[in-house]
Amino acid sequence: MSEKKRTETSAQSAVKDSSAFKKFLRLSRTLQFAWFAGHVTTLVASIFCFISANQAVYRIAWLGVIESFGIITYQHYASKSKATSEQKGLTPQALLQNGDVLYFLLALMWFITPKFTLALVPYAFFSLFHVLIYCKSILLPEVFGLTAENSKVVSLIANFVRNFNERCMYWVGSMELNLFLFLALRALLWYPRSWIILVAYTLFIKIRFENSKYMQATFAQWRVRFDGAVSHPSIPPVLKRGYGKVKSLLIQVSQFRLSKPQPAAASAGSKEHSQKAN
């Protein structure tokens, strides 16, 4: 009798495995899965790249970025195939306000320029959370029938995403400003193509500042820290005056908009980077 039960259990398990495999194959044919695969490639290749500093793995990581951001950008505009260019948001200003387009163009730049491994850090963080969200919301429920109600793994993923996703966006803003300082140093040391990269990345930071509350918060934090440091009595007056001039110049530059109308005509809302394949 027990032998019969074991046979039945094995048969049921085989049917379940077969069913899960078929569901996975069906899911793998979707564009959203290709988007997910791009993020997995980015995440895994980035980790290996940080460990081994392998040139081929570095390029593979950027191919994963280009795939995932390219797909989400395609989906965003392909869904409006019958609309005019203006209705699709294909005007230069509208494209610059789209965070996915901006990160896609930046990834293309990193792919064709000399290796700079630190540039992968923000993308690796993006990929980590997008992989987790996809697993929690689609892969585990649809293929294995696991949800937060019946699986501790899904529940842990959901809690992690809920607690750290927003914080991650602020961390990324800070990382991107730190990367700007690294790029400025590389330019001063005349690394290959460093000045071209610095100019392009400066434009990226400027546009992100115009459209991202996370980048604006990062600038505000840095300003408070620098103000506090420069106000110390030990700082020479000439440095304080120089800092004041630089700060005034940056404020003036911030009022000139690349991706939006000038402040008087600007709309109140700002479009944040949100990347979730549909």
Both tokens assigned to 137: 């919301």
Grouped pLDDT means (10 residues each) for the chain, 278 residues: 48 57 89 95 95 91 96 82 58 84 95 94 96 94 87 92 93 94 92 91 93 91 87 84 84 77 45 46
Side chain identity at residue 227, one-letter code: D
Distance CA 26, CA 265 (A): 48
Distance CA 167, CA 169 (A): 5
Distance CA 131, CA 35 (A): 10
Q: Give the sign of the dihedral formed by CA 29, CA 33, CA 35, CA 40.
A: negative
Q: Largest Cα–Cα distance in the chain? A: 92
Domains of the chain by residue range: 2-265
Q: State the pLDDT at residue 154.
A: 92
pLDDT digits (tens, 9 = 90+) for 132-152: 999 999 999 998 888 888 889
Neighbours of 122 (CB within 10 A): 21
Both tokens assigned to 75: 């989906």
Both tokens assigned to 157: 């993923």
Both tokens assigned to 82: 């019958």
Helices and strands per DSSP (H, E), number in the chain: 12, 0
Distance CA 272, CA 128 (A): 19
Helix axes 120-134, 152-188, angle to 10 degrees: 170
Distance CA 46, CA 53 (A): 9
Q: State the pLDDT at residue 88.
A: 58
CA dist 39 → 32, 126, 165, 189, 276 (Å): 11, 8, 16, 33, 11
C-alpha torsion angle, residues 230, 236, 241, 246 (rounded to 10) = -50
C-alpha torsion angle, residues 263, 228, 188, 108 (rounded to 10) = -50
Distance CA 142, CA 144 (A): 6
Q: Residue 91 in contact with residue 85, Cβ under 8 Å?
A: yes
pLDDT digits (tens, 9 = 90+) for 57-83: 999 999 999 999 999 998 888 766 555
Distance CA 135, CA 120 (A): 22
